[in-house]
Amino acid sequence: MHLAIDGRALTDRPTGIGRYVGELVQALARLSAWGPLEQSVLVPRENRDSPWVRKLRGCAGLHLYKMSARATGAHTIRWDQIVLPALASEIQADALFLPHINVPLRSRTKTFVVFHDASIYESPSGFGWKSRAYYRTILAAGLRRMTKVITVSEWSRAAVLRHFPDLDGKVEVVYPGIADEFRGVSRGEAQRAVAQEFSIRGPYVLYSGGLGARKNLRRALRAFAGAVSEATLPHLLVMTGAPSSSATDLIAEACSNGVRGRVIQLGHVSDAALPNLYAASDLCLYPSLYEGFGFPVAEALAAGTPSVTSADSPMQEVAGEAALYADPTSVEEIQHAIVTALTDAALRQRLVACGQQRVRAFTWDTCAAAICRLLIEHQ
């Protein structure tokens, strides 16, 4: 089996999808039960020497095709519609794997796409009009030409079928994994590492993720400010994510509401630093308005950190009884959950223990085996 993989997400500062690609490629390289697997990762010019590309060198059965073509900005459509399908055919790949919904309208190669979430349809305010027009036109036509559509949760599968009911029978759920680096981290060692790298000492609540509108930062900040005041909490709020003017304005607003000096914005954080940030924190705060899976909550489970996250969301599918849930549109509910999570020691202990059991279901080897099964079934 020869698998071609779109490597556009393996950027210098990878998002969740970039980490998904990197971890999956490594896990596929470890497989032996499914027979020989050859992987060709198609890397655009701008990613040629990214951290993940360097990390993947030397993986068994892996070829890194470092392309002269670009995949971002004005080059996106050409990469999607011409470069990827043409090269997959040229190298005689048995399948083309797309970790994002940038689907080609025509491909001679059997094509599998990962549909992480339906935010382009269900939370469109986070996209510009050009993106909305492109995805809604191309995606609607392209999805029906895919060999298989993979979603990362039952929640996302249901969302896909709400908008594309004719795809029933073609959509399959394969849960992603959580990297081993998040598991079994010593809390004491993590606290020392965070103090050394970020000069953060003392208890804190962690927000890790993007800073877009659907991440619900305004309510999260207001809830944190209310919780600090209500329970006289000593905690900081530590936030990761590429800085933006809107997020900076929200933080300034929160500081005017009584948490001046309590909010620390770290900006982009390396993958290597994230496990320590989770393990050293007292709580992961993630009341997002829309997700397809909720990696921060799953990563917190693995690191032994309780979470406050959104009710009626895929995070309930991921965390089960290992998290506290609140209506993400209610500052009061989020605030109450924060106070409860940080002041009820017995509850915290139960959540951590439950989380350690829960996260065993999410491994990259399990994910890779499920994807291999789908590839072979449709070979």
Q: Which domains does the chain have, with CATH numbers?
A: 2-177+363-377 (3.40.50.2000), 180-361 (3.40.50.2000)
Residues 47-55, mean pLDDT to the nearest whole number: 91
Q: State yes or no: pLDDT of 253 exceeds 80.
A: no
pLDDT for res 254: 67
Give per-residue pLDDT as tens, 113-136.
Answer: 999 999 888 888 778 888 888 888
pLDDT for res 34: 60
- Closest C-alpha to 105, from 128, 129, 134, 130: 134
Q: What are residue 75's phi and psi, to 5 degrees?
A: -90, -5
Spatial distance between the Cα atoms of 123 and 213, rounded to a whole number of angstroms: 9
pLDDT for res 297: 97
pLDDT for res 132: 85
Query: Are the beta carbons of 371 and 174 closer than 8 angstroms?
Result: yes
pLDDT for res 327: 98
Instruction: Dig out the tokens for 326 from the structure.
Output: 């609140």
Length of the chain: 379
Average pLDDT score, the chain: 91
DSSP H helix total and E strand total for the chain? 17, 13
Residues 18-38, mean pLDDT to the nearest whole number: 86
pLDDT for res 58: 81
Between these two residues, 137 and 219, which has the higher pLDDT value? Answer: 219
Q: State yes or no: pLDDT of 169 exceeds 70.
A: yes
Contacting residues for 16 by C-beta, under 8 A, at least 6 apart: 116, 295
Q: State yes or no: pLDDT of 33 exceeds 70.
A: no
Q: State yes or no: pLDDT of 249 exceeds 90.
A: no
Query: Are the beta carbons of 378 and 110 closer than 8 angstroms?
Result: yes
Kind and range of the H or E run holding 96 = strand 95-98
Residues 86-104, mean pLDDT to the nearest whole number: 94
Query: Are the beta carbons of 1 and 41 closer than 8 angstroms?
Result: no
Q: State yes or no: pLDDT of 155 exceeds 70.
A: yes
Between these two residues, 36 and 228, which has the higher pLDDT value? Answer: 228
Residues 278-301, mean pLDDT to the nearest whole number: 96
pLDDT for res 37: 86
- Closest C-alpha to 371, from 174, 179, 177, 153: 174
Give per-residue pLDDT as tens, 328-342.
Answer: 999 999 999 999 999
pLDDT for res 200: 96
Give per-residue pLDDT as tens, 185-221.
Answer: 999 999 999 999 999 999 999 999 888 888 999 999 9
CA pseudo-torsion sign 231, 235, 239, 244: positive
Instruction: Dig out the tokens for 311 from the structure.
Output: 């009710």
pLDDT for res 140: 84
Residues 291-296, mean pLDDT to the nearest whole number: 94
Share of the chain above pLDDT 70, in %: 97
Residues 63-68, mean pLDDT to the nearest whole number: 88
Does the model's pTM come out above 0.85? yes
pLDDT for res 44: 92
